[in-house]
Structure 1
Amino acid sequence: MTPLLQLRDVARSYVTRNNLFGQARPVRAVDGISLTVNAGETLGIVGESGSGKSTLGRMALGLELPDEGTVTFDDAPMPAPGSAAWRTLRRQMQMVFQDPLGALDRRLPVLEQIIEPLVIHGIDGDQRSAGLAALASVGLSAAQGARHPHELSGGQRQRVVIARALITSPRLLVCDEPVSALDVSIQAQVVNLLIDLQAERGLGMVFISHDLRVVRQISNRVAVMYLGRVVEEAAADDLFRAPQHPYTRALVSAAPSPGPRRVERVILTGEPPNPAARPEGCAFHPRCPVATARCRTEAPAPARIAPGHTAACHLLTPAAKVAAR
């Protein structure tokens, strides 16, 4: 099967300036990541703030091009942002943003905003009927479509954003922290809505979040990011049942669990390093409870540790496992 979306060794850097001295410093937000998303599949992206999740999502949509590596959609290279080819392709790729109120125009009724992508892409037909159908698909009424964003609840606004994203019948949906600003009960409603819509339409989905509970519910596969790199990737059930990388183990052990805890609690010390001053070797070694001398000098490459399961850790390579016996 040809992946719907494929990122190969993508990297993206930014230049920041020190406010005190005005010195420019490069920050490598994404550093050599390779991932794929198939039609009908959800890839969850998790990690702490500043790990590069949102930058990766923007590159997946072609909103930014990588400095290194390639992004392909349906086996074709991603066009340059703003080009005619990219604008045409955006009909097939849409984004659900974290802040629905910020993503909507407060001056317009929400039905007009749902219809707007049809106008932008020149999609003919009864646009109002299509907008009402999109509203109905996310559980909203025509009366709610006549309201302005500030007249709706946070969960209703997020449903409006989802309806607007889906009205062009995209094949790929990138969700960047879509439920982080919502109450827990509303989060469940929005996540269940996304699951139902994906099953109905066969969407490929990238779901970016720091909430492991939500990611576990919605994802088929999960990639764990730390300081711009993927440190572990596996099927969601495998990753949450038996995390292998020390960082993943710490994340999973800290997440609330409705049943008996299967992973020993791991408490990390310190804060994530400054991305502009990445540590030598494995970026996680200053906080890792099992780091060795090799971890401080040599960055580990992702390695296959089980079918469909990779991790970037010197202690998880086949040679390391043999030596430990």
Structure 2
Amino acid sequence: MNKNILAIKNLTKQFAGAKRPSIENINLSLSQGRCLGIVGESGSGKSTLARAITGLIPVSSGEIYFEDRCISKFNFSQYKKIYKEIQMIFQLPRESFNPSRTLGDSIVLNLKNFGITGNYKNNAISLLNRCGLDASFYDKYPNEVSGGECQRAAIARAIAASPKLLICDEATSALDMIVQKKIIALLNSLKEEMGMAILFICHDISLVHYMCDDVAVMKSGHIVEKNVAGQIIHKPKNEYTKALIEASNIY
């Protein structure tokens, strides 16, 4: 049995001035080499969960364990030491790149930040190649490529340090359906190749079904159902899960 990369225990986050928690009593685990989908409509707490895991926001209560280390109590300098092992890609890839840097330069910067030595340009081009982009993309700027190409470059940058956990926060939502499936195929291929765990956050349960081994359904900051993907899709128990499936194009 693969070991847990991520374990979340009774996690709650309530923002100052809010009437209720954004997420409340979340319990989840994710094993090495598996993909866990977090699905729910906008405002369900999915992105708050991702931001808590990456230390972008402090938690109100509960614990987040990464490889048995309680990272929810880490300060910034402690989090910085594990960023090499936890990487994240976002819904709008262009906004995650410095517009004044080429895609290749941005990947090289990640390599340097994580202390990876060697021929930086060759390593960056190799990463682009692994993500389906040829060497010409090294010298292109974010505004010179399509959304799908930019997301591939963002994935190349994220895997530069061979992370153990990749968090995808609505990473395919801004792409058309054909490009979405190509990006998902790339992520699945990299997961198998690298043995990393993926936390795939998405509002579209049909994409989660296509991508993930396990699924947790979120509504109003709570997990209302979790199971292996096939059981969630074919034998849902919660009425909200059933509504998500009925509204999707799975069938």
Residue 243 (structure 2) aligns with: 250
* Contact 1:2/1:75 (8 A) holds in 2: no
What is the CA–CA distance in structure 2 between the aligned matches of 1:169 and 1:80, rounded to whole Å? Answer: 24
Q: Say which one has the larger Rg.
A: 1
Which structure dedicates a bigger proportion of its chain to helix? 2
Residue 12 (structure 1) aligns with: 13
Shift of 1:117: 1.2
C-alpha deviations, 1:151-174, integer Å up to 9, x for none? 101100000110000001100000
Shift of 1:127: 1.7
Matches within 5 A, 1:264-283: none
* Contact 1:88/1:121 (8 A) holds in 2: no
Residue 133 (structure 1) aligns with: 126
* Contact 1:79/1:86 (8 A) holds in 2: no
What is the CA–CA distance in structure 1 between the aligned matches of 2:250 and 2:88, rounded to whole Å? Answer: 30
Return the structure number with greater relative CO, CA threshold 8 A, min gap 6.
2
Matches within 5 A, 1:205-216: 205-216=198-209
Determine which of 146, 151, 164 is the counterpart of 1:158: 151
Residue 115 (structure 2) aligns with: 122
Following TM superposition, the consecutive aligned residue runs of length 4 or more in structure 1 with deviations greater than 3 angstroms are: 24-27, 79-82
Shift of 1:236: 0.1
Structure 1 pair 114–82 and aligned structure 2 pair: CA distance change class (3 A) = farther
Residue 263 (structure 1) aligns with: none
Shift of 1:211: 0.9
Determine which of 182, 185, 189 is the counterpart of 1:189: 182
Secondary structure, in 3 states, of the residue corresponding to 1:167?
helix
Q: Which runs of 5+ in 2 are unaligned?
A: none
* Contact 2:63/2:72 (8 A) holds in 1: no
Shift of 1:106: 1.1
Shift of 1:82: 5.5
Residue 80 (structure 2) aligns with: 87
Residue 102 (structure 1) aligns with: 95
Determine which of 32, 37, 43 is the counterpart of 2:30: 37
* Partner amino acid, structure 1, of 2:136: A
Structure 1 pair 46–79 and aligned structure 2 pair: CA distance change class (3 A) = closer
TM-score, structure 2 length as denominator?
Answer: 0.96
Count of matched residue pairs:
250
Q: Which runs of 5+ in 1 are unaligned?
A: 16-23, 259-325
Matches within 5 A, 1:232-311: 232-258=225-251
Shift of 1:101: 1.0
* Contact 2:108/2:120 (8 A) holds in 1: yes
* Partner amino acid, structure 2, of 1:167: A
* Contact 1:64/1:81 (8 A) holds in 2: no
Is 1:170 equivalent to 2:138 in the alignment? no
* Partner amino acid, structure 1, of 2:106: Q
Structure 1 pair 180–59 and aligned structure 2 pair: CA distance change class (3 A) = same
How large is the Cα RMSD of the aligned pairs? 1.3
Matches within 5 A, 1:18-57: 24-57=17-50
What is the CA–CA distance in structure 2 between the aligned matches of 1:144 and 1:87, rounded to whole Å? Answer: 29
Secondary structure, in 3 states, of the residue corresponding to 1:178?
coil
Deviates more, 1:169-178 or 1:74-83: 74-83
What is the CA–CA distance in structure 1 between the aligned matches of 2:198 and 2:39, rounded to whole Å? Answer: 14
Shift of 1:189: 0.7
Shift of 1:121: 2.1
